[in-house]
Amino acid sequence: MEKMKIVAFRLGDEEYGLDIQFVQSIERIQPITRVPNAPEFVEGVINLRGNVTPVLDLRKRLNLEKEGHTEHTRVIITKFEEIELGLIVDKISDVIDLDKESIEAVSSSRIQSDNFEGIAKTEGRLIVLLKLSELIKIPGK
């Protein structure tokens, strides 16, 4: 059976996951410089060890309710095709192994989004897998 590793994290009560091959590191929240006239879901840019890296508010990107930062808030630094990007999430859960077979395609009519890869069921948890290649696109562009 083919396995994959994902980083699981929470946005509110929901659990999401990202394929670990795209994840570079997980950082605590740090001063973010706002970028004027950038898409709304771009929180700003941070200094990541000398590199200027854009950070997205994942809640805004997925059209979820806005929530303030807490001590659990983290930034997941991802890299997709040379584009480095931070995603702000409420809390990191853990890193889990998944069977590829346990991932279901997003077919239910209610959740219809290009942003999702599929839904993984494991140990009674439902984890929405995000599609990074879509997330980094600016809608309307």
Partner 1 sequence: MDLNDFLELFIEESKEHLQSINDQLLKLETEPENPAIVNEIFRSAHTLKGMAGSMGFEDLASLTHQMENVLDLVRNSKLSITSEMMDVIFSCVDLIERMVESIEQGGDGKEDVTDVVGQLRMIQNPSDPTNVQAGAYQESAAAVAEDIQFDQYQLSVIQEAKKLGNKLYQITIQLDKNCVMKSVRAYMVFQAAEELGEVIQSNPPVEQIEEENFDDSFSILLLSERDTKEIQAAFHPISELSEVVVRELSDEQETAMPIEKAQKAVKSNAQVLPKDKGDQGAAKKKHRSKSIRVDIEKLDHLMNLFSELIIDRGRLEQISRKSELTDLTETVEHMTRISTDLQGLILNMRMVQVEQVFNRFPRMVRDLAKELNKKVQLIVEGEDTELDRTVIDEIGDPLVHLLRNALDHGLESAEERTAAGKSEEGRILLKAYHSGNQVFIEVSDDGKGIDRGKVLNKAIERGVVTQSEAETLSDREVYSLILSSGFSTAEKISDISGRGVGLDVVKTKIESLGGSISIESEPGNGSIFRIQLPLTLSIIYAMLVKTGDETYAIPFSSIVEITKISKDQVSTLYGQKVIQFREQVVSLVSLKEVFNVPATDTVEKQELFVVIVRKGDKIMGLVVDSVLGQQEVVLKTLGGMLTNLYAVSGATILGNGEVALIIDSNQFFK
Among residues 13, 31, 108, 124, which is the contact residue for partner 1, using CB under 8 A? 31
Between the two ends of the chain, the Cα-to-Cα distance in Å is 39
CB of 34 to partner 1, least distance (A): 7
Residue 4 engages partner 1 in binding (rule: CB under 8 A): no
CB of 135 to partner 1, least distance (A): 10
SS3 of residue 101 by DSSP: helix
Residue 25 engages partner 1 in binding (rule: CB under 8 A): no
Residue 27 engages partner 1 in binding (rule: CB under 8 A): no
User: What letter represents residue 86's amino acid?
Assistant: G
Strand pairing report for 3-11 and 83-89? unpaired
Strand pairing report for 83-89 and 74-80? antiparallel
Query: Which is nearer to partner 1, 50 or 124 (by Cβ)?
Result: 50
Residue 50 engages partner 1 in binding (rule: CB under 8 A): yes
Tokens of 72: 């659990």
Residues 100-129 that bind partner 1 (CB under 8 A): none
CB of 10 to partner 1, least distance (A): 24
CA dist 52 and 22 (Å) reads: 18
CA dist 136 and 34 (Å) reads: 18
Residues in touch with partner 1 (CB under 8 A): 31, 33-38, 42, 44-47, 50-54, 82-85, 136, 138
